[in-house]
């Protein structure tokens, strides 16, 4: 952030300039201070579980887990039944998703009052397994969204898409050739004009192979929303400036996850060494290709069917989330 404007203001006497000029300078200073500069990186603190090989077992664990999270997360407990009612009012559509819960999870995520707090938690829940287990009270929503995106991606049979995202009050720094992740669920639009309405300080043009069209399960279907998961990786192909805006182009080059089936892994490893528990843990690990708690599973972008934080917390995070309402 530049520090020159405040310094210059201190050197200007109000007795020698018109009041309107002084107010204009002050307004410029406020704008300068408000815009943050954030580097793009691999979002190492993100919770990025892909649940490879453990979908059915994780689904079986949801009732108890969901009950616990309703008790520990009042926002989630309030928004979920509201999303159920909205989903029912729109005809209770499920297909091509695998369950009503997946449809309701997408409906809940696209509401104004949940996604900011959820994504702020996703960005930091991967700092450690303990952080995820004890402090991340969106385990159910994270799993259902991840499963929903995987199901829709398979059903839509679209290899890759070009999408856009506009961000206000944040300028992102990146270098061509750099490998990055968003580290949270990122809403983008198929329409560049739609993206620009929600923020013009940074414009992303993203070639995504794991982002999924969620219009039919969104509260805002007219936004042509494509949701990108936290674990997709991108190469920065272009960074430029245009009329005060930062333009960043990203090209999908695979996925990366530190975690896989983390909730089940901890549960199984804590089951006092029963043979059944050890066999189940072995199945989880063999199915995922991950041998450690944070094994770092990685895939290239060539036709894989699996899905690949921002270190800061806060409700909005560095993305200036969606420009006052749920805009991409």
In DSSP notation, 33-75 reads: HH-EEEE----TTS-----TT-HHHHHHHHHHHHHHHHHH-HH
Selected catalytic residue, list 165, 265, 285, 322: 165
Report the distance separating Cα 217 and Cα 255, nearest Å. 25
pLDDT of residue 20: 54
pLDDT-flagged residues of the chain (< 70): 1-34, 266-297, 299-328
Instruction: Report the interhelical angle of 55-72 vs 139-156 (nearest 10°).
Output: 140
Q: What pLDDT is recorded for position 243?
A: 83
Alpha-carbon gap, residue 208 to 190, rounded angstroms: 11
Orientation of helix 74-89 relative to helix 100-109, angle to 10°: 110
Of 46, 98, 187, 288, the catalytic one is 187
Residue with tokens 């560095």: 318
Cα–Cα distance for residue pair 219/108, rounded to 1 Å: 8
Rounded to 5 degrees, what angle do the CA atoms 247, 251, 257 make? Answer: 115
For residue 111, give both structure tokens.
């509401």
Quick check: pTM over 0.75? yes
With vertex at residue 46, the alpha carbon angle to CA 163 and CA 76, rounded to the nearest 5 degrees, is 85
Q: What is the pLDDT of residue 265?
A: 87
Strands (E), the chain: 36-39, 161-167, 170-173, 179-181, 186-189, 202-208, 212-213, 225-228, 232-242, 245-257, 297-299
Is 110 in contact with 222 (CB distance < 8 Å)?
no
Active-site residue (options: 69, 224, 225, 262): 225
User: Which residues neighbour 201 within 8 Å (Cβ) at sequence distance 6 or greater?
Assistant: 35, 167, 168, 169, 170, 171, 244, 245, 246, 320
Token code pair at residue 325? 């309402």
| Cα–Cα distance, 194 to 77 (Å, whole number) | 31
Cα-flanking dihedrals φ and ψ of residue 215, to 5°?
Answer: -55, -40
The reported pLDDT for the residue numbered 34 is: 63
State pLDDT tens for residues 242-290: 888 899 999 999 999 999 999 998 665 554 333 333 344 444 444 444 3
Query: What's the Rg (C-alpha) of the chain?
Result: 22
- Average per-residue pLDDT in the chain? 80
Q: Give the whole-angstrom CA distance, residue 263 versus residue 260.
A: 9
Sign of CA dihedral 85, 141, 155, 191: positive
- Which of 69, 141, 118, 111 minimizes the C-alpha distance to 313? 118
For this structure, is 225 an active site residue? yes
Q: Is 280 part of the annotated catalytic residue set?
A: no
Q: What pLDDT sits at residue 310? A: 30
Q: Is 312 exposed, middle or buried (0-12, 13-18, 19+ CB in 10 A)?
A: middle
**pLDDT (tens digit, 9 = 90+) per residue, 124-146?**
999 999 999 999 999 999 999 99
């Amino acid at each position: 952030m530049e520090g020159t404007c405040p310094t210059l203001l201190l050197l200007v006497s109000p007795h020698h300039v018109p009041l309107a000029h002084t107010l204009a300078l002050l307004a410029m200073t406020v704008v300068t201070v408000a815009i943050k500069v954030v580097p793009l990186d691999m979002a190492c603190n993100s919770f990025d579980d892909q649940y490879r090989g453990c979908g059915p077992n994780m689904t079986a664990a949801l009732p108890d887990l969901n009950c616990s999270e309703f008790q520990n997360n009042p926002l989630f407990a309030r928004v979920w039944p509201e999303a159920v009612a909205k989903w029912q009012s729109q005809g209770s559509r499920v297909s091509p998703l695998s369950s009503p819960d997946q449809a309701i999870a997408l409906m809940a995520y696209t509401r104004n009052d949940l996604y900011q707090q959820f994504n702020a938690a996703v960005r930091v829940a991967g700092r450690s397994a303990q952080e995820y287990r004890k402090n991340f009270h969106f385990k159910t929503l994270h799993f259902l969204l991840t499963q929903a995106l995987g199901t829709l991606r398979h059903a839509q049979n679209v290899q890759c898409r070009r999408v856009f995202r506009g961000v206000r009050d944040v300028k992102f720094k990146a270098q061509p050739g750099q490998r990055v992740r968003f580290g949270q669920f990122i809403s983008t639009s198929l329409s560049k004009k739609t993206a620009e309405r929600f923020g013009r300080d940074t414009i992303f043009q993203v070639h995504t192979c794991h982002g999924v069209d969620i219009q039919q399960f969104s509260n805002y279907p007219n936004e042509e929303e494509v949701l990108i998961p936290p674990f997709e990786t991108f190469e920065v192909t272009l960074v430029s400036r245009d009329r005060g805006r930062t333009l960043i182009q990203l090209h999908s080059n695979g996925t990366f996850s530190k975690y896989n089936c983390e909730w089940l892994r901890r549960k199984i490893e804590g089951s006092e060494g029963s043979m059944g528990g050890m066999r189940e843990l072995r199945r989880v690990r063999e199915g995922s290709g991950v041998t450690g708690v944070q094994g770092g599973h990685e895939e290239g972008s060539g036709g894989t069917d699996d899905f690949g934080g921002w270190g800061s917390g806060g409700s909005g995070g560095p993305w200036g989330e969606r420009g006052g309402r749920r805009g991409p």
